[in-house]
Structure 1
Amino acid sequence: MAADSHTPSHLSSGAPSGSAESAWLDTLDPYRLPAGATPNRYDIRLRPALDDSTFIGTVSIQLDVAIETDTFVLNAAELTIGECSVNGTPATAELVEEADRLIVRTAAPIATGSATMNISFAGILNDKLRGFYRSTYNDANGAEQVIATTQMQSTDCRRAFPCWDEPEFKAVFGITLDIADGLNAISNGPEIERVTTEENNDGRRTVIRFADTMTMSTYLVAFIVGQLEMTAPTDVNGSPMRVVHIPGKSHLTDFGMDVGVFCLKWFEEYYGIPYPSDKVDLAGLPDFAAGAMENLGCITFRESLLLVDPATSTQNEQQLVVDVVAHELAHMWFGDLVTMRWWNGIWLNEAFATFMEIAACDAYRPDWERWTSFGLERSAAFDVDALDSTRSVEFEVRSPADCEGMFDVLTYQKGGSLLRMLEQYLGEQTFREGVSHYLGLHSYKNTETNDLWDAIESTSGEPVRRIMDSWIWQPGFPLITVTISDDGTSIELSQQRFLLNPESATDPTEQMWVVPVHVSNGGTTTTVLLDSTHTTVALADPAAPVIVNAGGHGFYRVAYDATLRSRLAGALGDMNTLERYSLVDDAWAATVGGSLSSVELLTFLEEFGDEREHAVWQAIVIALRGISRLIDDDALPAFQLRVRTLVQPALAELGEPQADESDLAAKLRGLLLSTAGVLGRDEFVIDLCRDLLESSTEPDNAVDPELVAAATSVVAATGTVADYERLQHGFLTASTPQEQLRQLYALTEFDDEALILRTCEFALTDNVKTQNAPFVLRMAMANRRHGAAAWGFIKDNWEHANKEFPTNTISRMVDSVKLLTTPELVADVQMFFVEHPIPQAVKTLDQILERQGINAALLARDAASLHAHLIS
């Protein structure tokens, strides 16, 4: 459905009583609250006890009562409810646990107008990294310390206090935290009052009151309590910004602060609207299920995505910090100031923040060419959207489980790619004017997707809604086939849905998109809107190469006829980096889909020996890794030789690191080094990597971080038990979050089944946080030789994983089963998930299993011919 109007339909003149009351409750929407009463203000006071992981609290809710009633329905979960009153008169409160509902009943009907509801409650600081939860770390003395922190999105604010926990119910939040002596606390607003009290039974306590928030949704509420340290605030156009962290990590804050200051200023200029709150805290947490969260004024992060040492981190590790800080700050306007009405619109929140993170990163570090590297993320969306089991970007969301399934590559990467395609069609300034108009028109309100299209359409005069509706409301994307005319003066463009397995299509209906297509030929770029099955484009120079998807930003794949393809082969130097990247990426997709053989792909890749751009090499290496999974041990040496032959000229040309070289040149050296060592099994490179890794541990011996990262992978992939134990020790003693993760994930790369199983066991110990353990297991299962052993381990520990790991990580953990492609493993995986579904990620699991079948078909189709080609 195009919109969810959230029509109030349940509260009239009050609920009936007795059996009629039970019947009335059954008529309530199981996932949406009735709208007869709505909150406009919450005053919350919480008292967490970190030593026993509990909290108590009170909430006073100011209500607008639209319909006289004696029954109020709001959300609460995993709370013990104490006293309750409405307008000072005691009321009853019944917690309906299976529905996350709190039913408050008054002795007499409450008249329309204003009302005040007061509730006392108690809860547990849980270990599931949701709601109000506990995060732990070991201090300098090795003692465990606890932080109480929050993650409310999507529907977990109800676990912290009773509330109307839906995005449309915006309100002001006044938060007070009563904390033990020696602790500190932050929340959405700046601290405005601090009182120290003496208590006979509980020692000294500190009560901190924070300034009111702007009107906002419950999922943006945040508070953190613990032994927190803060940097000195930096003024950003009147808004103080700090980085908040656990003790001992202040030396890792400068980069994140620099990024935050730049991005906040840049967004204020881009949007044309001042930052809508009073301050910004960027808080790095030891335990965090997501990457980061856009809580208004109190943004929370995984430590590895905020705290970083530029001297020891790779370009990609720094870029991740820039991306995520920018993403969350972009949300302060697009999401916090203007919010989707219901969770079906979460895609637009996240897609727009994804688009803006790339734009801000590109402004912060133009030399990183962020829009080019975004092509790799777009490819991840292509991979899912080329499946029959994909979904439309926006779809009906009913339950919290439906909502959780929205946080995927289609929401973020496809959505961001579609916005980039629209921006490139309209022009950057025109697109920006439309966004600013949208934000100004809907500030402090809730919107539907069409409100954005209408705002941009009104300022641009272009058919924005018609274009975007064709992409948002139907699944998949087109393959644009390009054919030259008989007389050579024009090309024909035709579109049809691209599927990796066309025979799997459950809906044979022909789909159509309104596709902005940029065609480059003879120094001229022509833009057309392909809104039918075919169209013709005249060529400026019939003899010159033709590039369709010129610039490389369209969300579609391209297939050229033989004549046009042969022209491109000799014109790679005339294409920009993203265009060449797309050419390689399209070829790999064609191989997976069966229209290009693996032998043809390998031959095609070998034409790129003169390539010197990192992004293109990323696409080449992805394809080479894919090919490597089709090769048995007999043919592997021949393949490794081909890899070495392809990689060595570029690696030799790069030579030793230079002080004045670009970050991307250093990054390319690292990629080529790891490719030569892991895929090419180059003995010289392997020995070099051992020396590099050894040198990197020596005091005052600065080794380029890109080389350290590459050497870590090469040593792991070719290493011994001693190497394993060294990397494991490095993980346990690492001085930065990036070094820690680099060495943890390297434990999944060893070519030894016993070591892979040892890694799986290690992932379930207290040494590995539950936020990271699912990804360790996923990477272990992606091990080329021993993934099946890791799969067996996951099956044996399925109950443990579902009990201990954050729910949103379970589908991510099993993503690598798509790489298990023998008939026996395919049957085993499919049967296992018949009996062990993942209810919070039904669609994602369908996609993983479909891709497994496609990969298995590729193995069956190409393995023999590839083997014969390599050993001939």
Structure 2
Amino acid sequence: MAKGFYISKNMGLAGLLMGAVAGVVIIALAAVYDKEKTKNQNKPVDGVTTVSPTTSSTLSTPKNPWEYYRLPDSLSPVSYNITLWPRLVVNASTGLYIFTGQSDVVFRCEKETDLILIHCNKLNLTLLSGHRVRLTGLDGATAPNVISSWLQVKTEYLVIQLKGKLAAGKSYRLSTDFQGELADDLKGFYRSEYTEDGVKKVVATSQMQAVFPVTLIHQRGTVALSNGRDVETVNTTIDGAEVTKTRFEPTKRMSTYLLAFIVSDFAHITGSIENNNVLVRIWARRKAIAEGHGYYALNVTGPMLQFYEGYYNASYPLSKSDQIALPDFSAGAMENWGLITYRETALLYDPASSSVGNKETVLTVVAHELAHMWFGNLVTLRWWNDLWLNEGFASYVEYLGADYAEPTWNIKELIILYEVHKVFAVDALASSHPLSRKEEEVNRPDEISEMFNTISYSKVLYGSPCSRPSPTARFYMVLHSYLNEFAFNNTVYSDLWDHLQKAVLTTPGMSLPHTVHDIMNRWILQMGFPVVTIDTATGHITQKHFLLDPDSVVDRPSPYNYTWMVPIKWMKGGVEREQHWLLQETAGSEWVLANLNVSGYYRVNYDTDNWERLINQLTADHTVIPLINRAQIVDDAFNLARAKVINTTLALRTTRYLSQERDYIPWESAIRNLNYYILMFDRGQVYGMLQVGSSYNMIYQTFTVAEVLYNQINAISFACRMGVERCRVLTSVWFREWMLNPDHNPIHPNLKTTVYCNAIAAGGVEEWDFAWTMFKNATVATEAAKLRSALACTKVPWLLNRYLDYSLDPAKIRKQDCTSTISYIAHNVVGMPLAWDFIRARWSYIYTEYGGGSFSFSNLINGVTRRFSTEFELKQLKQFKEDNAGVGFGSGTLALEQAMEKTAANIKWVAENQEQVMNWFSNECT
């Protein structure tokens, strides 16, 4: 799935989180051990004997087979033949949107058993009256009768009790007819609604290892999509209803979570991969397609697929590649094989109103999802504890695919900002976790949801040369052999190490100090990363587990005592030196720079003299130091200062040279780190000094005429944030011009986010109401997203409280956007305490209504608590945890622990550094 969205996204179904197809009764199945059986009383429901288990499911230690979230291996699915009929109009008798369907699952019994468990995400789903579960033996096997069945609410199973036992080695078919609600809950098979030209329209959509022949029955005039190409479409009449029946080619053998089916009246545009008969289509609302919003995604998809075929040395495995933009989608995107689903903002690009940032988002998200077609889909991880094997690799390769499609953007350099620096911030906490956890640590849906985090997406590519693939023919061969051996199957991370080790042993002249397993397991099986300290006077080098709060206690044991095999790629006096695993050379009077081009996953500290030499070199001629390392020096220095390794003043001095810097990456690195100072001090007297500091005013003066586009955007945004009057006036004037002529927006798309926010912040009710109207009338998703974010910028408390209430009203704010809207309000210094009070008062409702497994809960908690830096706020956090222990925090559980850890660290940092920071900015202003 798309990186950048995993914190604010929900996979859209609980069943998916357990490897299940969503929204179908027969989703994933397995029989379980026969020694534990139900003793409950039977009763008939909807013509089927069902059982309601009593108390065992609430026990902390599961006793019955159906109380375990993870399916055992007693049964092995061979194929799922699924027919679904979603109704896109309200059922007259129930008042609900419903779907009906049939399922035939062929499976093989691996271990003798008399129980069948079926993951059933839609627990309001019922087996149709008069149609019992039907079990048939194949190839001479005798099928036992079904005694009873029931829905197990907590673990979301349909449990089927058999009178006799299934025989090991025999195959069977399980058939059902079912009905369920097509709800708007963003889970499983759900309903998405939108209005186009004043007409309300409905989409039926889903997110879901076996082969899947799929048939969809749908209203005439609509189109049906699934993973395979459609092979037959006929109009027919069923129960008096004139419908269309679309049958799809059977899928490749694949994981159940990759299954998808969609019914809509969307339109599409078409392309193909050169020299390969692969159909490429972009689907979206008819108006969006008619206005050309799908062309950018279509134009980059073909080149990316061609690039990946060469990179993986494997052809695209399917006959077609559909990509579809959905009005309601809780994730950013989902890599369903052959039918990738996206939020509209992640797939559609409108040249007239979307910014270059929106274009970059489409490019990188599409690149990420297409990378999964091989790494993740063709070869899939065995269990969610190794999620990084899917997502981390895709996060790396997306930059290569995006660079191929847009070679002039130099997008590969941004990996340092978007991945390395981001993951450093999380992995420096004592509450971090290893890339790979033990399987028994990741079982419940919330535990699986927690794996979709920055660590899994961004850490995997760093740590040693083995973990950052070099574009060599040898590495391509490694990928090809790995994908070829495990195609249509599952792997664990050590399988990849095996193939890399083969490459080392068979490549002339290539050697490593230890095996690939020995090197990489230190980065995979223990959390965190080292700070490498280099004494340039002696050449002595040491490493230590880097913790943002050096006083924090690390409770998680490490198999390697938190030491790593660190590759040292370095330069001396501007000359690149040979890579070492240990630095032995003294520096003399020349400066030394380690971790050249940030090729390793570690921070670097130096002796004081070398820090001074580096700062002097930046001032004299910063271009001698590589671009990426200029950003690294700033980021390392600020974080080392936060960890009390170096002085805060030294870190601040690394920014002085920036008046000469014209590249985006070092500036962005500095602004992100200075943002921490703003968050810590924007409620106190130090902030006044920050606002008048010459270092910040010069940003606006220097970069309003800069050639680098992102620097222009940063300059205006940061200047406005720091209270530069000229910026406030300019943004307000532009916004007022739009208010006077709503049909003509004079604001450049690249500046809309900044202008909207600052004009609303400087304005009042009139500006807010105008923006709200424009938001509700927006037909382009990226435009609506900018306005939704900007509405949170007002400084009027009652408007913010009203907006918080709107966030829980699906008629005003789509469910997919609820938690991010609250987070936007919390980013506002005025809105932060209001948002905190709001979620504390309504946590039970938010948790229940928006799903205990929602990925966005971690983002919500992080967003609301990012400013916390007082003992009172820490006490409130602890009380919040205690008050809601019975409710739970879902995917936000770890985020809450980390919020308390970060708050405690912030309290200490502010107390120890407030005076230093004030004095430094005071001196800079004089």
TM > 0.5 fold call: yes
Question: Would the alpha carbon gap of residues 523 and 61 (structure 1) be closer, same or farther in structure 2, given more than 3 Å must change?
Answer: same
Q: 1:334 aligns with which of 354, 366, 375?
A: 375
> Which segment is superposed worse, 843-852 or 25-34?
25-34
Question: What is the 5 A alignment of 1:792-831?
Answer: 792-806=837-851, 807-816=854-863, 817-831=865-879
8 Å contact kept, 1:385–1:410: yes
Are residues 1:736 and 2:780 paired? yes
| Paired letter, 2:201 | Q
> Which segment is superposed worse, 775-784 or 686-695?
686-695
Are residues 1:443 and 2:511 paired? no
Distance in 1, Cα, partners of 2:808 & 2:647: 41
8 Å contact kept, 1:610–1:650: no
For 1:165, the equivalent position in structure 2 comes to: none
For 1:616, the equivalent position in structure 2 comes to: 666
8 Å contact kept, 2:84–2:101: yes
Q: 1:762 aligns with which of 800, 806, 812?
A: 806
For 2:679, the equivalent position in structure 1 comes to: 629
| Paired letter, 1:853 | A
Structure with the larger RCO, 1 or 2 (CA within 8 Å, 6+ apart): 2
Distance in 2, Cα, partners of 1:724 & 1:587: 40
Distance in 1, Cα, partners of 2:900 & 2:656: 32
Q: How much has 1:382 moved relative to structure 2?
A: 0.9
Q: How much has 1:624 moved relative to structure 2?
A: 2.3
For 1:97, the equivalent position in structure 2 comes to: 153
8 Å contact kept, 2:569–2:599: no
Distance in 1, Cα, partners of 2:269 & 2:751: 32
Distance in 1, Cα, partners of 2:791 & 2:745: 24
Distance in 1, Cα, partners of 2:469 & 2:102: 52
For 1:771, the equivalent position in structure 2 comes to: 816
Q: How much has 1:543 moved relative to structure 2?
A: 3.6
8 Å contact kept, 2:83–2:103: yes
| Paired letter, 1:45 | T
Distance in 1, Cα, partners of 2:903 & 2:242: 59
Question: Would the alpha carbon gap of residues 652 and 321 (structure 1) be closer, same or farther in structure 2, given more than 3 Å must change?
Answer: closer
Question: Would the alpha carbon gap of residues 571 and 597 (structure 1) be closer, same or farther in structure 2, given more than 3 Å must change?
Answer: closer
| Paired letter, 1:50 | L
Question: What's the % identity of the aligned pairs?
Answer: 27
SS at match of 1:455: helix
SS at match of 1:34: coil
SS at match of 1:276: coil
Instruction: Provide the TM-score with structure 1 as the length reference.
Output: 0.89
Distance in 2, Cα, partners of 1:18 & 1:859: 60
Q: How much has 1:10 moved relative to structure 2?
A: 7.6
Question: Would the alpha carbon gap of residues 688 and 271 (structure 1) be closer, same or farther in structure 2, given more than 3 Å must change?
Answer: same
Q: How much has 1:427 moved relative to structure 2?
A: 5.9
Distance in 2, Cα, partners of 1:849 & 1:641: 32
Question: What is the 5 A alignment of 1:706-745?
Answer: 706-745=750-789
Are residues 1:482 and 2:534 paired? yes
Distance in 2, Cα, partners of 1:754 & 1:25: 51
Q: 1:850 aligns with which of 901, 911, 920?
A: 901
SS at match of 2:314: coil
For 2:14, the equivalent position in structure 1 comes to: none
Q: 2:304 aligns with which of 263, 280, 287?
A: 263
8 Å contact kept, 1:14–1:68: no
Question: Would the alpha carbon gap of residues 772 and 196 (structure 1) be closer, same or farther in structure 2, given more than 3 Å must change?
Answer: same
For 2:524, the equivalent position in structure 1 comes to: 472
Q: How much has 1:465 moved relative to structure 2?
A: 1.8
Q: How much has 1:439 moved relative to structure 2?
A: 0.7
For 1:145, the equivalent position in structure 2 comes to: 201
Distance in 2, Cα, partners of 1:93 & 1:55: 24
Distance in 2, Cα, partners of 1:9 & 1:304: 38
For 1:567, the equivalent position in structure 2 comes to: 613
For 1:838, the equivalent position in structure 2 comes to: 889
Distance in 2, Cα, partners of 1:454 & 1:29: 36
Question: What is the 5 A alignment of 1:685-704?
Answer: 685-694=727-736, 704=748
| Paired letter, 1:466 | D
Distance in 2, Cα, partners of 1:414 & 1:314: 29
Distance in 2, Cα, partners of 1:598 & 1:536: 27
For 1:676, the equivalent position in structure 2 comes to: 719
Q: How many residues align?
A: 826
8 Å contact kept, 1:84–1:92: no
For 1:132, the equivalent position in structure 2 comes to: 189
Distance in 1, Cα, partners of 2:394 & 2:677: 34
Distance in 2, Cα, partners of 1:444 & 1:465: 24
Distance in 1, Cα, partners of 2:710 & 2:815: 30
Distance in 1, Cα, partners of 2:906 & 2:824: 17
Q: How much has 1:385 moved relative to structure 2?
A: 0.7
Question: What is the 5 A alignment of 1:297-446?
Answer: 297-377=338-418, 378-396=420-438, 397-418=442-463, 422=466, 424=468, 428-446=472-490
For 2:503, the equivalent position in structure 1 comes to: 459
Any stretches of 5+ residues in structure 2 without a counterpart? Answer: 1-28, 42-50, 57-61, 90-95, 138-142, 506-511
Q: 2:911 aligns with which of 845, 860, 867?
A: 860
Distance in 1, Cα, partners of 2:780 & 2:83: 36
For 1:558, the equivalent position in structure 2 comes to: 604
Distance in 2, Cα, partners of 1:108 & 1:310: 64
> Which segment is superposed worse, 561-570 or 814-823?
814-823
SS at match of 2:253: coil
8 Å contact kept, 1:344–1:395: yes
Question: Would the alpha carbon gap of residues 724 and 602 (structure 1) be closer, same or farther in structure 2, given more than 3 Å must change?
Answer: farther
> Which segment is superposed worse, 216-225 or 709-718?
709-718
8 Å contact kept, 1:256–1:325: yes
SS at match of 1:537: coil
Q: 2:270 aligns with which of 210, 213, 232?
A: 232
| Paired letter, 1:821 | S
8 Å contact kept, 2:792–2:821: yes
Question: Would the alpha carbon gap of residues 725 and 93 (structure 1) be closer, same or farther in structure 2, given more than 3 Å must change?
Answer: same
Distance in 1, Cα, partners of 2:273 & 2:583: 55
Q: How much has 1:268 moved relative to structure 2?
A: 0.8
| Paired letter, 2:178 | F
Question: Would the alpha carbon gap of residues 636 and 335 (structure 1) be closer, same or farther in structure 2, given more than 3 Å must change?
Answer: closer
Q: How much has 1:68 moved relative to structure 2?
A: 4.3
Question: Would the alpha carbon gap of residues 820 and 557 (structure 1) be closer, same or farther in structure 2, given more than 3 Å must change?
Answer: same
Q: List per-residue Cα deviations over 1:536-591 (Å, max 9, x = no partner).
A: 3326x744321101012321111111111111112232112211111111122123
8 Å contact kept, 2:270–2:279: no
8 Å contact kept, 1:693–1:708: no
Q: How much has 1:43 moved relative to structure 2?
A: 0.5
Q: How much has 1:869 moved relative to structure 2?
A: 4.8
Instruction: Provide the TM-score with structure 2 as the length reference.
Output: 0.84
> Which segment is superposed worse, 593-602 or 429-438?
593-602
Distance in 2, Cα, partners of 1:126 & 1:387: 39
| Paired letter, 1:804 | E
For 2:18, the equivalent position in structure 1 comes to: none
8 Å contact kept, 1:438–1:456: no
SS at match of 1:56: strand
Question: Would the alpha carbon gap of residues 713 and 418 (structure 1) be closer, same or farther in structure 2, given more than 3 Å must change?
Answer: farther
Question: Would the alpha carbon gap of residues 245 and 418 (structure 1) be closer, same or farther in structure 2, given more than 3 Å must change?
Answer: farther
For 1:197, the equivalent position in structure 2 comes to: 236
For 2:563, the equivalent position in structure 1 comes to: 512
SS at match of 2:499: helix
Question: Would the alpha carbon gap of residues 85 and 605 (structure 1) be closer, same or farther in structure 2, given more than 3 Å must change?
Answer: same
Q: List per-residue Cα deviations over 1:382-403 (Å, max 9, x = no partner).
A: 1111111111111122222221
| Paired letter, 2:503 | T
| Paired letter, 1:624 | L
Distance in 1, Cα, partners of 2:470 & 2:369: 25
Any stretches of 5+ residues in structure 1 without a counterpart? Answer: 1-7, 153-169, 655-660
Question: Would the alpha carbon gap of residues 626 and 340 (structure 1) be closer, same or farther in structure 2, given more than 3 Å must change?
Answer: same
For 2:15, the equivalent position in structure 1 comes to: none
Q: List per-residue Cα deviations over 1:492-517 (Å, max 9, x = no partner).
A: 22110000112112349741111222
Are residues 1:579 and 2:618 paired? no
Q: List per-residue Cα deviations over 1:337-377 (Å, max 9, x = no partner).
A: 11111111222101111111112112222332223222223
> Which segment is superposed worse, 268-277 or 838-847?
838-847
